[in-house]
Amino acid sequence: MKTINILLFSVVFAFLFTQCETGRTTTEGMSVTGKVGEILVVCDQAIWDSPIQETLDSQLVKFILPYLPDVPTFHLTHRTPKHFTEGVKRFRNTLFLKIDPEYKGEFGKIEKRTDVWAKGQLVIDVTGKDYNQLIEACQKGLGKVHDEFDDISWGRLLNNFKRHKSTSTNKAIQKNFGIDIVLPSGSRLVTKRPNFYRIEFPNASRPIEFVGVSEDIGAIFSGVMIYQYDYKDSSQFTLETLLKDRDTMLRYNAPSEIEGMYMGTQYNEFVYPEGNVVSSIYHVDGYEMRGMFVFTGRQKFGTGGAFWAFHFKHPERNKLMCISGYVDAPATTTWTHSIREVEAVLRSVQFKK
């Protein structure tokens, strides 16, 4: 066992976040199972039925804002230890909660294990000598645990996309925009203009009615748009300015099948776009923005969905660039997987000469 991340302290609480070494041979050829956005919680029924479940919900079931319907980063599924042992153990995200009277630590313990029963699996163990110590460990430490599950979730998708690069599409993006991104296998370039590309992901849902696309092709409709325009100064990197520029670019480049309609932005107070400067999780510094889109124009509104965009200045071209992912899905279908795919693509951007 070795300490890997942090030693957290407070007046009443401290614990070690440690990582266990695992052998490669145990996971050879085994892939993770379970849904993207799912955390399997393994604990006794009495623990699950206790107030600790409220702590799990508040610390692990966070929402990606400002989407409607709500898009949780994770949802929780419970298994008892016996059920887990007798069933499939390869869930991608697994959290064990255990009371061990033999545990001698002064504070609860949180341990991290990777590739335990499958490649790419993340297992977190939370141990306390009694219930009070266990729930205290959860209250103080599950925020960090959420971040661990969050990072590996989009990272898995990113690694999977890298194994199936679309050579022709990527070459076109590199040549026209001077950047490289990873895309889901089967993505296709459907709009190609000097300053605007739209790439459609596979397995889409009821169609967003772009010009030339009207067939129903699957369960969820998603993809990314890449666009660029002249960079003037840093004042362009504000939420209101980027939204104004976005609406202008999409009005002329993302028309609907219905004449006079185009992809716009929803400005309702409940889903008003949010933005912030980002750096550490991206290869480049930039501005991230999330919100809801709607087809608008001559009519008051049409169909719509969610968008997640990343803006940045190209270091060798005097261009402000944007990669904007979109997801259109029925309200009865979870959006988590599709939005995670968009997130992975945005975080993959790299500059190319």
Do 44 and 155 lie in one domain? The reply is: yes
Helix (H, G, I), strand (E, B) or coil at 195: coil
Give the C-alpha distances (Å, rounded to integers) separating 5 from 18, 145, 222, 268: 7, 11, 35, 41
Distance CA 335, CA 36 (A): 10
Do 198 and 274 lie in one domain? The reply is: yes
Helix (H, G, I), strand (E, B) or coil at 24: helix
CB contact set of 146 (below 8 Å; sequence gap of 6+):
59, 60, 62, 73, 74
Q: Do residues 81 and 46 make contact, with C-beta atoms less than 8 angstroms apart?
A: no
For residue 121, give its domain range: 2-162
Residue 230 β-bridge partners: 319
Distance CA 284, CA 348 (A): 10
Do 177 and 309 lie in one domain? The reply is: yes
With bands split at pLDDT 50, 70 and 90, how would you rate the model's confidence at 297? Answer: confident
User: Looking up tokens 């979109």, which residue turns up?
Assistant: 326
With bands split at pLDDT 50, 70 and 90, how would you rate the model's confidence at 331? Answer: confident
Pick from 332, 330, 336, 311: nearest CA to 321: 311
Do 233 and 289 lie in one domain? The reply is: yes
**What CA dihedral angle connects 45, 47, 52 and 58, to 10 degrees?**
-40
**Final residue before a domain boundary, out of 102, 131, 162:** 162
Q: What's the structural domain count of the chain?
A: 2
Q: What is the 3-state secondary structure (H, E, C) of 301-318?
A: CCCEEEEEEEEEECCCCC
Tens digits of residue pLDDT in 33-84: 999 999 999 999 999 999 999 999 999 999 999 999 899 999 999 999 999 9
Do 219 and 282 lie in one domain? The reply is: yes
CB atoms within 10 A of CB 149: 21
How much is the pLDDT for 31? 87
CATH of the domain at 105: 3.30.379
Do 112 and 212 lie in one domain? The reply is: no
CATH of the domain at 204: 3.40.1000
Lowest mean pLDDT among 158-172, 190-204, 241-255, 314-328: 158-172
Do 136 and 246 lie in one domain? The reply is: no
**Final residue before a domain boundary, out of 137, 162, 187:** 162
Do 123 and 176 lie in one domain? The reply is: no
How much is the pLDDT for 220? 78
User: Looking up tokens 């988590």, which residue turns up?
Assistant: 336
Do 118 and 244 lie in one domain? The reply is: no
Tens digits of residue pLDDT in 117-137: 999 999 999 999 999 999 999
Q: φ and ψ at 204, to 5 degrees?
A: -90, 175
Do 259 and 111 lie in one domain? The reply is: no
Distance CA 328, CA 338 (A): 9
Do 45 and 148 lie in one domain? The reply is: yes
**Final residue before a domain boundary, out of 147, 162, 177:** 162
Give the C-alpha distances (Å, rounded to integers) separating 183 from 54, 60, 72, 312: 37, 28, 23, 19
Do 210 and 282 lie in one domain? The reply is: yes
